[in-house]
Structure 1
Amino acid sequence: MNALLLVAHGSRKESSNTEVKQLALQMQRLTDGKFDLVKHGFLELAEPSIPGAIDDCVKCGATHITVVPYFLSAGRHVTEDIPEEIAIGQKNNPAVEITVSGYLGARSEIAELLIKAAVYAQGGRQ
């Protein structure tokens, strides 16, 4: 079973964490069968943690997990902290294959999305 794990920073503001949860639910509807399961996890300040979310995926039957960092740049969280947390989850679930996609900000589509947001703010259509 293939799982997608959306990883965000986490916030003290619960509404921000809820946005991530809602995004994961929306992604589940859009996977078009490419992933059997979409879960979310947080680096800090919210639950589930990244290792906890990996455990949740495994409990649901995942044998392969693709982690998608929901971050805009390759700062310390992307290059060090997230890999460290994934390593903990991997150690707890050695039989599961875990891969990590590029972080959100590395995608070429980001510039287009930002232009769409700016046009929308000016009263234009997306």
Structure 2
Amino acid sequence: MPSSRRAILLIAHGSRRLQANAELENVAESLRQRGHFDFVQPAYLELAEPTIEQGAAACVAHDARVVILLPYFLSPGRHVAEDLNAACQQLRRLYPHVHFAVAPPLGQHPAIIDILLHHAWETLAKTETPPSR
């Protein structure tokens, strides 16, 4: 296998609700289908498995040499600013032969703004009904 294999470790908060965690699995599958990375692994910061460390181990087991910790978070709060960076440092110690990097959260990316407007307009269209007579 080539030494430049790239992986995404897609990270969400995690939930006790299985339906909430299933959403991340669906997003990971959509990323896989795009085919831009050799391996895509979902992981959770807390409350669910696989953990970040377990997810990273899966990436390494698939011979990833570059792993992007991709937060499925909107803002750079404590989890992104502190927890993910600490996890990245730990993974670098565990796997010194692998390059780990943390991507920015979704934030104010123009595509997110477009999605928010799309959802607002869809909801408005469903709620705007003519007054009853």
Global fold match (TM > 0.5): yes
Higher-Rg structure is 2
Q: What pairs with 1:91-102 in structure 2 (closer than 5 Å)?
A: 91-102=93-104
Matches of 1:70 and 1:106 in 2, distance apart? 13
Q: Could you say what secondary structure the match of 1:41 adopts?
A: strand
Deviation per residue, 1:45-86 (Å, 9 max, x gap): 011111111111000110111111111111111100111122
Task: Answer whether contact 1:50 1:89 (CA < 8 A) is retained.
Answer: no
Report if aligned partners of 1:5, 1:67 keep a CA contact under 8 Å in 2.
yes
Q: Which of structure 1's runs of 4+ aligned residues deviate more than 4 A? A: none
Aligned to 2:23: 19
CA distance in 1, matches of 2:17, 2:89: 27
Aligned residue among 84, 109, 112 for 1:110: 112
TM-score of the two chains, using structure 2 as the length reference = 0.85
Structure 1: gaps spanning 5 or more residues: none
Equivalent in 1, 4, 12 of residue 8 of structure 2: 4
**How many Å separate the matches in 1 of 2:54 and 2:85?**
14
Is the 2:88–2:102 contact (alpha carbons within 8 Å) kept by the matching residues of 1? no
Partner of 1:75: 77
